[in-house]
């Protein structure tokens, strides 16, 4: 099976500073791969490089089976979707306008998140943080995406909202989407993931199926997920 997205020996960072070293990962259709790690582990740098926002410093990013150095907008046209930490929505436009700008099926977006329907004509800056993140995710899921990259979907949101968002991600993967998920809530990530990579200091230190790792969460947190204060990069 050809991976939807894959890195081979990926080295990534900023300028001449390597943050990620020799990273191999793959995401297949229909699965959620969760990436865990402390601040500074290189998780966000990995997503930025896979998305095309950062050029790799070494190794390869492969998208839909082909090595690529295309910028994000080209990868997006081929089926890559990204949800960032910063709420990827246009605050001055209405909810409906945000969906139209993203070439989304508004009916499909409302089907995914009925909570948005009463707010279709409301300016997005007036929505709650949870509603904004639902909209950001709907903009990715209500069009023809093949791969979804998600960076800290839950940041600053109430647990019930996080559960709602992650359930939508899991359902999309069950429908054939490939998902690479960076998530701070370890227990919640393990509930929706198929496979897990634990990163520290720019490299994968532990990987396995979510089923294998669910009973080891406390050990994983103690061994791998404590912040590394010497690291200065996300």
42-85 residue pLDDT tens: 999 999 999 999 999 999 999 999 999 999 999 999 999 999 88
Cα–Cα distance for residue pair 203/112, rounded to 1 Å: 35
Going by CATH, does the domain composed of 1-79+147-234 fall within 3.40.50.300?
yes
Q: Where are the domains of the chain?
A: 1-79+147-234, 87-144
Distance of CA 82 to the CA centre of its chain: 6
pLDDT band at 116 (very low <50, low <70, confident <90, very high): very high
Share the mean pLDDT of the chain.
93
pLDDT band at 87 (very low <50, low <70, confident <90, very high): confident
Residue 224 CB-density burial (10 A; 0-12 exposed, 13-18 middle, 19+ buried): middle
pTM confidence score:
0.92
What is the pLDDT at residue 222?
83
Q: What is the mean pLDDT of residues 108-112?
A: 97
């Amino acid at each position: 099976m050809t991976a939807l997205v894959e890195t081979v020996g990926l080295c990534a960072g900023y300028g001449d500073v390597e943050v990620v070293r020799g990273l191999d990962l793959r995401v297949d259709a229909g699965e959620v791969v969760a990436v865990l790690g402390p601040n500074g582990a290189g998780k966000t740098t990995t997503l930025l490089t896979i998305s095309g926002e950062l050029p790799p410093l070494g190794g390869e990013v492969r998208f839909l089976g082909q090595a690529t150095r295309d910028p994000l907008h080209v990868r997006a046209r081929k089926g890559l979707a990204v949800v960032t930490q910063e709420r990827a929505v246009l605050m001055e436009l209405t909810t409906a306008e945000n969906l139209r700008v993203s070439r989304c099926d508004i009916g499909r977006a409302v089907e995914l998140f009925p909570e948005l329907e009463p707010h279709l004509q409301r300016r997005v800056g007036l929505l709650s943080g949870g509603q904004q993140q639902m909209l950001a995710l709907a903009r990715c899921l209500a069009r023809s995406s093949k791969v979804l990259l998600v960076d800290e979907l839950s940041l600053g949101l109430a647990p019930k909202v996080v559960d709602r968002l992650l359930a939508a991600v899991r359902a999309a993967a069950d429908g054939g989407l490939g998902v690479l998920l960076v998530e701070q809530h370890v227990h919640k990530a393990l509930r929706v993931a198929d496979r897990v990579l634990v990163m520290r200091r720019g490299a994968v230190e532990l990987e396995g199926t979510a089923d294998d790792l669910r009973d080891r969460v406390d050990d994983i947190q103690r061994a791998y997920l404590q912040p590394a204060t010497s690291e200065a990069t996300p």
